[in-house]
Amino acid sequence: MTVPDRALPPQAPRPVRDDLEAEVVQLTSDLIRIDTSNPPGNETPAAELVAGYLGAAGIETELAGPDPDRLNLIARIRGSGEGPSIMLMGHTDVVPAPTENWTVNPFDAVLRDGHLVGRGAVDMKDELAARAVAMAAFARSGARPKGDIVLVAESDEERNVSDVGMSWLVRERPELKSDFALNESGGSLLELADGGRAVTVSVGEKLVTSLRIRVHGRAGHASVPDRDKNTLRAASTVVERLFACEVPVIVSDSVRRSLDALGAPDGSDAERLDWMGRQHPGLADLVPAMTTTSITPTGLEAGEPANVIPPFADVICDCRALPGSTEDDIRAQIAAAIGPERASGAEIEYEVEFLEPLAGGVESPPDTELYAILERYVEERVPGAILLPLVTPGFTDSHWVRQAFGTVAYGFAPVLATDLDVYLDSMHGADERIRTDDLVTMAEFHLFALNALVGA
C-alpha cells in the first residue's frame, strides 16, 4: 500500500541561511533521483551533478577515472599552504532497491512527514550533498583557506570490485593526499541508560574479506542416498558450527578508549563490556563486533543437477576481522569451529580459500586538531554529550586514504533528529529516509569544521 505524501511541516528557525537549507535538501533529492545502483553503478551523472553545483560556486572541478560511465568527481579550493588540508568524502553509488517493501519509488526522492525518502538518503547521498553545500558556502564567503579543501565523490564504494573508485584514485592521483578527511559511519546520537548522551565518531574499521569453505563428500546418484557422506549435509553442519562457535573476545586499546570515554566503571574487561552493552541497544550490538572476528555464512553453492549428489559444496562467508588479524588467525578460528582443515578421514573434510585479500583494519588517532574540533562541536551542539570513538564493523573508503596517504580520517556526520532505529534499519533497506533537519545539521557541521580547521 502506498502511503499518501504530505507537505513538510514548517521548519524551526536555524543558524544557517534559508537558501543553504533549501540547497542541501534540493541537492540530496537531485542525487537520489539519479539511479546509481551498484551493480552496475553508472555513477558519472551523479558526479556531473555535483560538479555543476560546485562549479557554479566558482570551485575547480574535474571528473576522473578509468571507466567513462563510472567517473569520480574531484573538487578543490586551493589554500595558502599555511594550514592542514582536508578531504570531504562521499560515494555516489548505492545498493540496489528492490521495490517490494517500499511505499514510494526508491528514486523519486519523496518529502514526507519531515523526512526525505529514497535510496541513498542515508547511505550516503545525504552526506555527500551536505559536504558539497558546506564547501560551496565556504567558497562563496570569499575566504581563502589555510590548506586545500578537496571534495571527492567516488564511485564503487558499495562493492569495490571494479577498481574504478577510491582504490584507483589513491593509486593514480597521489596529489589527493590530505592531512585530514571526513567520511561516513559516525555522528549518531545515543541516549544512554545511565542518563548520559554520546555522539559516535568512527576512528577505524575492521579488516574485511570473503572466503570459500569447500566441503568435500562422496558423489553419487540421488536415488541411492548415502546420508552419512552427503556433501550438503556436511556443508549444513559447517554452517551450524560457524554460528554456534564461541569466538575469543579481544579488548584492544581502541575498545578501552571507548570504554574510558563512556566512563565505564572499574572492573574486569568482561564486566566493563557488559556495562557498555547495557548503555544502549546499538552498543549492545556493537560490542561483539568490536571485540571478535566474525565469520558469517552468506551463501551455499553446489552446482550439480537435482539427481546428483555433488562431490563438493561451497560455503561462502563474509569475514570481518579485528585489526591486526592475519589469514592464519582466521583459519585457526574456522578450525576451532569445525575441525582441522584438509584432514584426510576427518568427520568433515574441507579446505579454505580466501576470495579477496584482507583489507582495512587501519585506525586514526584521537589526539588531533580535527578530533578536538569534533569534540567542541558536540559540546556546543549537544549539551552534556561526549564524543564516543568507535571502531566500526563495516568497511568504508576511509581505509584507502588512511593506508595510502596516512590521512587521519574520521567518520562523522551528525544525525540528531532522525530516530536512530529508523536511520539504521532503513540503511540498505526499504523506505530509506532521514529527517530534513539532519540534512541541514550536517551542512552546518561541515561548514563549522571547515571554518575551524582551515578558515582564515
Query: What are 196-245's pLDDT values in tens digits?
Result: 999 999 999 999 999 999 999 888 877 776 666 789 999 999 999 999 99
Q: Cβ neighbours of residue 138 under 8 Å, at least 6 residues apart? A: 77, 145, 149, 447, 450, 451, 455
The verdict on 300 and 165 lying in the same domain is no
Q: Which of 330, 359, 388 is the last residue of a domain?
A: 359
**pLDDT of res. 306:** 84
Residues of the domain holding 73:
18-184+396-454
Query: What's the pLDDT score for residue 160?
Result: 86
Helix (H) or strand (E) holding 279: none
Residues in the chain: 456
272 in any annotated domain:
no
How many C-beta neighbours within 10 Å does residue 153 have? 31
Residue at 426 is within a domain: yes
Contact 77, 141 (CB under 8 A): no
Q: Categorise residue 207: left if φ over 0, alpha if ψ from -120 to 50, beta otherwise.
A: beta
Query: Is the same domain home to 168 and 24?
Result: yes
212 and 355 in contact (C-beta within 8 Å)? yes
Distance of CA 203 to the CA centre of its chain: 12
* 58 found inside a domain: yes
Q: Which residues contact 277 (CB under 8 A, 6 or more apart)?
A: 283, 284, 287
Same domain, 228 and 108: no
pLDDT > 60? residue 56:
yes
User: pLDDT per residue over 397-441, tens digit each?
Assistant: 999 999 999 999 999 999 999 999 999 999 999 999 999 999 999
Predicted pLDDT at 8: 31
Q: Report the number of distinct structural domains present in the chain.
A: 2
* Helix intervals (H) in 311-435: 327-338, 369-381, 398-405, 420-426
The confidence score (pLDDT) of residue 17 equals: 55
Residues above pLDDT 70, as percent of the chain: 95
Distance of alpha carbon 129 from alpha carbon 44, whole angstroms: 16
Higher pLDDT, 13 or 301: 301
Q: What CATH number corresponds to the domain at position 231?
A: 3.30.70.360
Give yes or no for residue 260 having a pLDDT over 80: yes
Let me know if residue 313 belongs to a domain: yes
The kind and range of the H/E element at 354 are strand 349-354
Round to whole Å and give the CA distance between 274 and 200.
19
353, 214 Cβ separation under 8 angstroms: yes
pLDDT (average), residues 260-264: 95
Rounded average pLDDT over 345-356: 92
Q: What is the mean pLDDT of residues 369-381?
A: 97
Rounded distance between C-alpha atoms, residue 387 and residue 384, angstroms: 10
Query: Looking at the structure, do residues 138 and 96 belong to the same domain, yes or no?
Result: yes
Q: What is the spatial distance between Cα 62 and Cα 72, in angstroms, rounded to a whole number?
A: 8
Closest CA to 386 of 190, 103, 236: 190
Contact 434, 122 (CB under 8 A): yes
Rounded distance between C-alpha atoms, residue 411 and residue 186, angstroms: 5
Provide the annotated active-site residues: 93, 157
pTM exceeding the 0.85 threshold for the entire prediction: yes
Domain boundary among 359, 381, 416: 359
Neighbours of 194 (CB within 10 A): 10
Residue 128 within any structural domain of the chain: yes
Question: Per DSSP, which regions of 122-170 are E strands?
Answer: 149-154
101 shares its domain with 229: no
pLDDT in tens, 299-337: 999 987 888 889 999 999 999 999 889 999 999 999 999
- Cβ proximity of 91 and 401 under 8 Å: no
The answer to whether residue 30 scores a pLDDT higher than 90 is yes
- Residue 2 falls within a domain, yes or no? no
Say which range, 1-15, 67-81, 203-217, 238-252, has the weakest mean pLDDT: 1-15
pLDDT over 70 (residue 15): no
Nearest to 148 by CA among 135, 160, 157: 135
189/419 Cα distance (integer angstroms): 9
**Exposure pattern of 98-136 as b/e (b: 16+ CB <10 Å)?**
eeeebebebbebbbbebbbbbbbbbbbbbbbbbbbbbbb
> Which residues partner with 349 through β-bridges?
216
DSSP class of residue 30? H
H-type helices in 157-296, by residue range? Answer: 166-172, 231-244, 253-262, 269-277, 281-291
Percent over 90 (pLDDT), the chain:
84
Q: Is the pLDDT of residue 149 over 90?
A: yes
Number of Cβ within 10 Å of residue 12's Cβ equals 6
- Dihedral of the alpha carbons of 321, 323, 328, 331, in degrees to the nearest 10: -10
Residue 287 belongs to a domain: no
Cβ contact 116:28 at 8 Å: yes
Please report which helix (H) or strand (E) contains residue 56, including its range: helix 44-56
- Find the CATH number of the domain harbouring 117: 3.40.630.10
pLDDT recorded at residue 14: 42
Collapsing DSSP states into helix, strand and coil, what is residue 321?
strand
Looking up cell 560455503, which residue turns up? Answer: 315
Grid coordinates representing 381 are: 551542539
- Regarding whether 84 and 46 lie in a shared domain, the answer is yes
Establish if 141 belongs to a structural domain: yes
Residue with cell 552468506: 298
pLDDT at residue number 127: 98
